Amino acid sequence: MGRNNYYTNQGDAIKKDIFSYFQVNNNFSMKYIFILMFVSAFLSTLCCTQKTYENKPFYKLKVNETVEIYYSTNSCCYYCFAEDQNLNHIEFLEDKTIDSGPKDCAGCNFVAAFVFRAKSPGIDTVKLLHSVASKPCEEAEGPPEEYIIQVE
């Protein structure tokens, strides 16, 4: 039995026309497919890039330079550094918000940073504690996050 050249319904005819168009104009369609893929990849990286904030375990600074130690939290918890830390070579400047998160989300995560300035040569260790909103920093549970800062 041979293959018939007629179609049982109009949908099959449309599919055949589209398929034959891409077979005949293969170079033409491949150019558009490549351009479409390139544009969509470019737009996805442009629109959806999200900056990540990462801390290093060790920082080397010169006098008067600053360092930001990042943290991410939400309304239920907070990060703090223990007041009893003996910081001799750096000083705490501020706690600033880096990324406040989505505008229409009251309890969502946000990114902030503790900013320290190097004031004299030596080594200090910053210990960050993670606590729930209902407890003071000194009652935080769990091990602290430690960051060593060397000032030259």
Say if residue 19's pLDDT is above 80: no
Say if residue 5's pLDDT is above 70: no
pLDDT given at position 37: 64
Hey, where are the domains in the chain?
10-48, 58-151
Please report, rounded to a whole number, the percentage of residues in the chain having pLDDT higher than 90. 35
Q: Give dist(CA 4, CA 6) in Å, integer.
A: 6
pLDDT given at position 95: 92
> Which residues sit opposite 97 in a β-bridge?
112
Nearest to 80 by CA among 118, 131, 116: 131
Token duo for residue 20: 């034959």
Does domain 58-151 fall under CATH 3.30.420.10? My reply is: no
Give the highest mean pLDDT range of 38-42, 44-48, 65-69, 139-143: 65-69
Tell me the C-alpha to C-alpha distance, in Å, between residue 85 and each of 71, 93, 96, 100, 138. Answer: 19, 15, 20, 28, 11
Say if residue 7's pLDDT is above 60: no
Please give the distance of CA 68 from its chain centroid, rounded to a whole number.
Answer: 16
Order of all β-strands in the sheet with 110-118: 66-73, 110-118, 90-99
pLDDT given at position 63: 96
51-86 confidence digits (pLDDT tens):
678 999 999 999 999 999 999 888 788 888 876 678
Token duo for residue 108: 């969502």
Say which residues have a Cβ less than 8 Å from residue 82's Cβ, sequence separation at least 6: 127, 129, 137, 138, 144
